[in-house]
Structure 1
């Protein structure tokens, strides 16, 4: 019963409420609350801070969550090896990825991986902002840029260019910027990452390095929406080459200011700070790494 209650605790955290967890496993809210209380009584600590609107992990709850996933994943791996053999992978994988990248390359990788491993269940969460990997029960997260949380385990997927681009219809109507400073006179489509507005666009390196503060009439915290706006001709955007390579090759977007290339940004895959990963997570992470090693640059076929 202890393992069952721990598993239910993880589902409460991942779903965000006792009610949602109950719906997922077919239990009433009262039963979920009673089993959570029993788990807290077993350890003699409060695991979740609960209000009428939200729940949050206590320090003890976070410690349990980190260790519990490792223990339960080990149980799932052992059961799989006994029932289906050492080569079979089964169980859930929870992934967080940027919205545009998640809808394209990651989604394609998931499709192929599931064809090879039909007993795996993958949950893909798309977000361009900060994600609490431990608090949200994420197994694998992908993010551009430097990683500030030193407790996470990180593997590099290489560095990728960010490209200034626009639709042909926008260029035909409003012209092409010749130098980065010209962007001040154009409508730029902006991303918001949490509280940070990405309106300081960087160009060049070394002595030629420059930063231009841009503005525009559309801001979103969803990279796929900014991408959609750009394709529709509403303005100029700054986007990873992974997201817009196919559009550039097909002529749906035009690269602007190619002689003032923005500094490349690292793309990284992150894991929670557990001591060991279940085989299914290691296998999918390895497949993701192989997938991105095969992805070419802006002018190559992906």
Structure 2
């Protein structure tokens, strides 16, 4: 029996003319679509598409199926249009997880704005130092990884730019490094949430990117505690700009080695469905992305 999803896939294979274009449109892999087409042909006991031509062309059996595929796509389009014309009024609970870096600075702003617009939605936030897998217990996960289950969707929403900084008191006492190699003579503050390792810092010489393994007498998994140690003059810090933007602007911290720093961490929003993401999750993701962008713009 042909499933509704099969009809939508077949519609895009025919109208797009090739597997790659259809896969991009449906946000699925080419291999997955190829396998689904083969499964459809096994169910039909007949070849549905000619593959030897420049574009995928329906066979006689494929033309019959395509008539129904067009109806299915029209029905889906009409349903989406009807839903989008409805006022945005959400309810229920959204369970989400995010790194501490984002959860302590950006998410309070985004969630407050979202709640003001959608007061009937309960928000359940878990902050973590490790990426949590999206499961039945979570609706939305913010993380630094785009590797997800094939039936889920992960979209980039922001990119953290990393910086190195220290307090004026520390720099007055120990001097300011002028080259990454100078950091071997300094006390570095390790951020344990960094994927590569607390003291594995990334640099560039303008042509190549490289990592230096540094050391220090503090390594902490709490970003706010690490910032406080840096403000207290305990060493040089390497963290996302988001964490110390206000301190840099106020002069409480000074950036070091700006022309040598090379690290950017993308933040992804992961949803539980590859095809149909609930509108309230899309709306929440939009609020979060907007908060990121505003914070970044206001602190440039």
> TM-score interval w.r.t. the shorter chain?
0.5 to 0.7
Structure 1: where are the runs of 5+ without partners? 1-80
Which whole-Å deviations, capped at 9, do the CAs of 1:61-82 have from their partners, x for residues lacking one? Answer: xxxxxxxxxxxxxxxxxxxx9x
Distance in 2, Cα, partners of 1:101 & 1:134: 21
Task: Report the structure number with the largest CA radius of gyration.
Answer: 2
What residue number does 2:169 align with?
169
Distance in 2, Cα, partners of 1:168 & 1:185: 17
- Check conservation: 2:113, 2:287, Cα contact below 8 A: no
- Check conservation: 1:176, 1:256, Cα contact below 8 A: yes
Matched residue pairs, number? 215
Residue 249 and residue 198 in structure 1: after superposition, are their counterparts in 2 closer, same or farther (change >3 A)? same
SS in 1 for 2:148: coil
1:225 maps onto 2:228 in alignment: no
Distance in 2, Cα, partners of 1:224 & 1:276: 37
1:179 maps onto 2:153 in alignment: no
What residue number does 2:288 align with?
288
Residue 206 and residue 179 in structure 1: after superposition, are their counterparts in 2 closer, same or farther (change >3 A)? closer
TM-score normalised over the length of structure 1? 0.64
What residue number does 1:149 align with?
148
Residue 218 and residue 273 in structure 1: after superposition, are their counterparts in 2 closer, same or farther (change >3 A)? farther
What residue number does 2:113 align with?
112
What residue number does 1:12 align with?
none
Structure 2: where are the runs of 5+ without partners? 1-82
What residue number does 2:127 align with?
126
- Per-residue deviation, 1:206: 6.0
- Check conservation: 1:140, 1:270, Cα contact below 8 A: yes
- Check conservation: 2:93, 2:122, Cα contact below 8 A: yes
Residue pairs, 1:75-94, within 5 angstroms: 86-94=87-95
What residue number does 1:47 align with?
none
What residue number does 1:215 align with?
215
1:301 maps onto 2:296 in alignment: no
- Per-residue deviation, 1:295: 3.5
TM-score normalised over the length of structure 2? 0.64
- Per-residue deviation, 1:92: 1.0
SS in 2 for 1:289: helix
SS in 2 for 1:94: strand
Distance in 1, Cα, partners of 2:161 & 2:140: 23
